[in-house]
Amino acid sequence: MRFSDGRATVVRGDNAVIDPTTELVPTVTAVRAMSVAAAHLSVPDPQPEADGWGQPLEESTLDLTGYEPSIQVAFQLTSLPTVIERGPFAAVTPMHLVFFPLGAAGIRLAWHATLSLPGGGQYVVVVGADGESAEEILYVANTTVSATASGRVWEHNPGESGGLRREVAFPRPPQDYPKPEFRDLPSDFPRDWVNADLAVGNSTTAVLGDSDQTLRGDTVGGRVVFDPSDDNGDDQKILNIFYFCNYMHDFFEMLGFDEASGNFQWRNHTGQATGRDSVVARAHSGAIYGTANMSTPVDGSAPEMNMGLVVASNRHTAFDSDVVFHEFAHGVTNRLVGGRLNVYALNQPQSRGLGEGWGDYFALTIQNYWRQEEKVVTGDWVANNASGIRRHPYDVSYAAHGTFADIGGSYTEVHDIGEIWCATLMHMNRLFGGALGDTRRGHRIAWQLVVDAMKLSPANPSFVNMRDALLNALADLENRLSGQDYVHLKSAFWKAFAKFGMGPMASSAGASLFGIRADFTTPDSWS
């Protein structure tokens, strides 16, 4: 509605006249309306809808045996907002009263419910709540929105791709992800990235700069294709940041950064934790403050990623997985360490260094999982510098430059401190691979330990706190490893941490830069 001189000059929206005799008090309870809606959805549709490939959408089987809806919470407001316990559904069911127009039949008081089926599928069901239409199904709509899609992207950066973009499926097929070592994935993993024909989905909304402008794909034969004409233009920046963020969402979901842990999703399919917090990924045309960053508020509030131009090289961070993966990892670690509702759990100097180290560690090792030759520098393409953007390469000789003993001395800046943590974890990955005789399995187990350890960590941890959290995570996996594998991995763990001065006697004054005491020995039983 627009006002001018105190008058409404433009009014948009639909209006309906409510008859004075319309009932205002429901004769059907929310619980009863839920039972009616559930019973209706439990009957398979004899003519199911088709997907983008022309194949029928297989509906989930809804078993209502013994099901009796119960109220989780209700609010004494005019529309009586009510939340029904999850039961056999994929999520809790929100309900509220509405006036539902039926054309010539007038307007009816009704319950509006949004039901999420297990295995996928979401429906809006409107159930009559007044005397004339009590318990009648007035409206049913499948509101599940998905699209088969693909995009032509820089998979890691233009240098790695030989100057040619590659068309990849959105989402990537399961075989394009490292198979998790200890977790069973949902049958529908990975879920659709794209809601319709825009670079917008359940986990990421990609836009240009500070605007709401996103990218629209072309629909060809029921498939949405994103293929910007300028492979260095703004549309490609939007597409690439969308691709990288979705891949990282799926990667971390495999390791346990799921809905219960506060991951980034608009809709939480399990009903656990809080939704409405998909990543807002902003690809800016030019340079921005800090070049690249990600802010992560508490669960239920959307994180925001910003990628800008590196002026010195005239290369854009949205095209480089080193940078986007690093920043996305910041979001993950900020949610996991201290829990999904604590945004102050990585504030101390060593804690901030851990955050930077984790960012580099995941950005590099995710790529190394698929590479023949280990990548040990980060940001080399975007900076147009073979040495990358860190002090030293993360190779096997890094400990000659810096260890835990140097924190508070020659290592005080947060990114520099992070280098020591990243170098330690990358060495742990190498030794795990060697101990198991399987480099890729070494990566998978190491990643799982790192994510599990974040959940076990205190807020504002020191390097030693995180070392101990990793040990506890490894102990938790002992029964899922063969006896020899566990022995070999624990020995490799201590060798890696002792090399970087974090042996059993290492300590510091909390997570500060003071009182650093390094220990380069390994426990006798694990040497």
3-state SS class at 351: helix
Phi, psi of 222, rounded to the nearest 5 degrees = 80, 0
Say how many C-beta atoms besides its own lie within 10 A of residue 232's C-beta: 13
What would the 3-class secondary structure string for 409-478 be? CCECCHHHHHHHHHHHHHHHHHHHHHHHCCHHHHHHHHHHHHHHHHHHCCCCCCHHHHHHHHHHHHHHCH
What count of Cα atoms within 13 Å lies in the side-chain half-sphere of residue 163? 0
Residue with tokens 């042996």: 503
* Cβ proximity of 202 and 209 under 8 Å: no
Distance of CA 8 to the CA centre of its chain: 43
Residues annotated as catalytic are 327
Name the nearest CA neighbour of 420 among 433, 401, 443. 401
3-state SS class at 83: strand
* Residue 386 exposed, middle or buried by CB count within 10 Å (0-12, 13-18, 19+): exposed
Residue with tokens 């297989």: 58
Q: Which residues contact 255 (CB under 8 A, 6 or more apart)?
A: 180, 183, 447, 448, 451
Distance CA(62)–CA(352), nearest Å, equals 47
Q: Is residue 460 left, alpha or beta, with left meaning phi > 0 and alpha meaning psi from -120 to 50?
A: left
* Residue 333 exposed, middle or buried by CB count within 10 Å (0-12, 13-18, 19+): buried
Q: Which residues contact 165 (CB under 8 A, 6 or more apart)?
A: 152, 153, 154, 231, 236
Q: Which tokens sit at 243?
A: 């691709």
